[in-house]
Structure 1
């Protein structure tokens, strides 16, 4: 097991996803970010089933950066309750883990 996280955030637009990605990488909270989409999302919000096109932002970061990334997303994201989830990286190559840590000041 590594100390790295793969963080997934759904965003309402490419612009929002890019703004969060740029800020996280510039502030050295995440080593890199990938953007996918649009994807179709189905969810219940305030008792109503909703459908929306969203973009998925993936970031790679050390676990020690989680609270800072969560705060950044909550600051920049327009949703009342942004979907921010983190998956632990069970395995990564040693050179990649070193690169992530070097680029996040960990």
Structure 2
């Protein structure tokens, strides 16, 4: 089973924590890590913007991608939140078992 490392940028620590708590409580993600603030540069509606954001990382089975995407879109205040996932090429067997035990996989 493929484990995803899902990255979401959030406008505040509160939003990131709310998404992380909901994802773990709903057993969509086994765990979450929060980094930041980080500086982001992006183009929005034709204008180059700069903002401080927080980076939320979640580890989850690939089968939970659509549930996590829906959860983020439900909670996140951005019109177009940045939600990306990287498949983990290598995961230790004990950690993969732990992820699966702590999600509804």
Q: 1-side partners of 2:8 and 2:76: how far apart?
A: 10
1:33-81 deviation digits (Å, cap 9, x = unpaired)? 0000000000000000000000000000000000000000000000000
Q: 2-side partners of 1:52 and 1:10: how far apart?
A: 11
Q: Which residue of 2 aligns with 1:4?
A: 3
**CA positional deviation for 1:12:** 0.0
Aligned residue runs from structure 1 range 1-106, under 5 A: 2-106=1-105
Counterpart secondary structure, 1:82: coil
RMSD over aligned Cα atoms: 0.6
- The alignment's TM-score, normalised by the length of structure 1, stands at 0.98
Q: 1-side partners of 2:64 and 2:102: how far apart?
A: 12
Q: 2-side partners of 1:35 and 1:78: how far apart?
A: 17
- The alignment's TM-score, normalised by the length of structure 2, stands at 0.99
Q: Which runs of 5+ in 2 are unaligned?
A: none
Q: Which runs of 5+ in 1 are unaligned?
A: none
Which 4+ runs in 1 deviate beyond 6 A?
A: none
Q: 2-side partners of 1:105 and 1:67: how far apart?
A: 13
**CA positional deviation for 1:7:** 0.1
